[in-house]
Every structure is written in C-alpha cells, then in structure tokens.
Amino acid sequence: MAKSVLSADRFQNEDAAFAFVEASLWPHGPVCPHCGNVDAKRIKKMEGKTTRRGLYNCRECRKPFTVRQGTIFESSHLPLHLWLQIIHLMCASKKGVSTNQVQRILQCSMKTAWFLTHRIREALRDGSLSPMGGAGSTVEIDETYIGRKDGFEVRRGAWHKNAVLTLVERGGAARSFHVEHVAKGAIIPIVRDNIARESKVMTDEAAMYSKLGDHFAKHGAVDHHRGEYGYTDRAGDKINTNTVEGFYSVFKRGMIGVYQHCGEQHLHRYLAEIRFSLFEPCRYGRE
C-alpha cells in the first residue's frame, strides 16, 4: 500500500525534522550564523536533558545557535516538523492553501497560522535579478486585474482593482509584479529590466506593447478582439499568450475559491506562492 508523503519521518518527528533541515542548509556541516565559522572542530553540539534541541555552540565567537537562526523558522515556537508539513502542503497545492485551512490543520490560533503562511510565502518569492529569456527563448507578457484597491469605491471598469503584470518564459520561470497603473510608462520599464534583449516576446493587442519590437529580437501579438488566440507565423514561431493566461487562470481560481480575499499589501506574496507551485512542481511530486 502506498504511503502518504506526510508520513515521512521529517514530517512526524522533531529530531528527524532538525536533521533534514540541517542537511539541507548545512550540507558540509554546521555554520555559525554569528561569525560564519565553518570549522567543525570549533563548533560543538550541545547535549543534555535540559538543552534545546539542535543547539550548537561556536568556540570562535562563544555564541549558541540552531539551524532555525537566520531562517523563516526563527522566533517561532511551532515545532519544526509542523513547519515542514505546511511548507509541503503549500508547495504541493496547485491553487494554494488558505490561512484558515492551516489553522484548522494545526488547531492553532489565527495569529500563528497567519505568521506561518506569510513567512513561507515571502520565502517563496523569486529574488533573481538576472534577465529572463535570451537568444532562442520566448517570453509571454500579459496583465490582469484582481480584487479591489484599499479605499477605492467599486465602479465600472477596472480602475478600482489591483493590477498585476506577469512575465512567463516558455519552458522556464515566471515573474509577477503588482503595478500601480497599467500604462506604457509603468509597464515597459519593468519589461525591459526583466527580459533579455535577445528574447522573443509575445503579447496581446494592447497599445502599450506596440513598440516592444524596438527593444527585443521579435515581438508577436495576438488580437483577442478579432477572436484570435494563437497562430504560427512564417518563421515557425508560435504567436500566443496561452502560458501566461494559464497562470492567471490558476491564480484567479485560487484567489476566489481558496483565499477569497487578499489585501493589496500582501498581493505580491500570494503571487509568489502560485508562481512557485506552478513552476516548481517536480520537487513535490506534482505535475
């Protein structure tokens, strides 16, 4: 009979959880977060009935530390194996996991669940600064609207909604940005800073994308107003924005069906969670 992934030792046993995290963060042995000492002979693991689990002492700076220090686990009283359970559930779930669901799973306070989930979402953010794409790569660009801006009255149109810009490299990674306005002056600088000039870019017919061919190797566009959603041009390039639209489809289903509400100041974290769950599936056994 197949066993659940969550039955693994690191999800059920605190000692196994510490061993797993230490092996992941310290593959070559303990590292002192205070002074950076990596000499195993100058770091001693503390043992004893009253000693904290996983406690080490650095003989260089004479300060104690655990693998929690300097990570998202720091300053948390929640057992490490429960942290690992929630991390796995959030990463393996295609549409995300709500804070209320985490509260029900752990039977903890809403404050604890909120602290836990938002720390994990922050850790899932892509901090990469190098441009996406490159020669022979194709990057799709699109924007969407979600929720409502704080303090804005609901009216016709999308002026009161939060605007999101997403760049998706076919067969690669994705980046999302919460932008103040969907206008050429706000969008184009982000696009130019995050995509290599040698890339091919694909967009819809929006006027703000009209001059992208001046900045990149090629610009292809589909006209949704004419019922056009994809075609192959004479050069053999597939002109569509299906990948980035698929990203938004999953994102909106998660926001409406799972989270139901998202404050404007936290939108970037939810985008990071969906991006990670969609583009990092192999680590968690999900396709």
The domain ranges of the chain are 138-284
**CA separation for the pair 224, 148 (Å, rounded):** 25
* 48 or 154, which is more confident: 48
How many CA atoms, within 13 angstroms, populate the side-chain half-sphere of residue 252? 14
Q: Is the overall model pTM greater than 0.85, yes or no?
A: no
pLDDT tens digit string along 156-183?
Answer: 766 778 889 999 999 888 888 988 888 8
Fold observed for domain 138-284: Nucleotidyltransferase; domain 5 (3.30.420)
pLDDT tens digit string along 238-274?
Answer: 999 999 999 899 888 888 777 767 777 778 888 888 7
pLDDT tens digit string along 212-235?
Answer: 999 999 999 999 888 889 999 999
- The mean pLDDT of the chain is 87
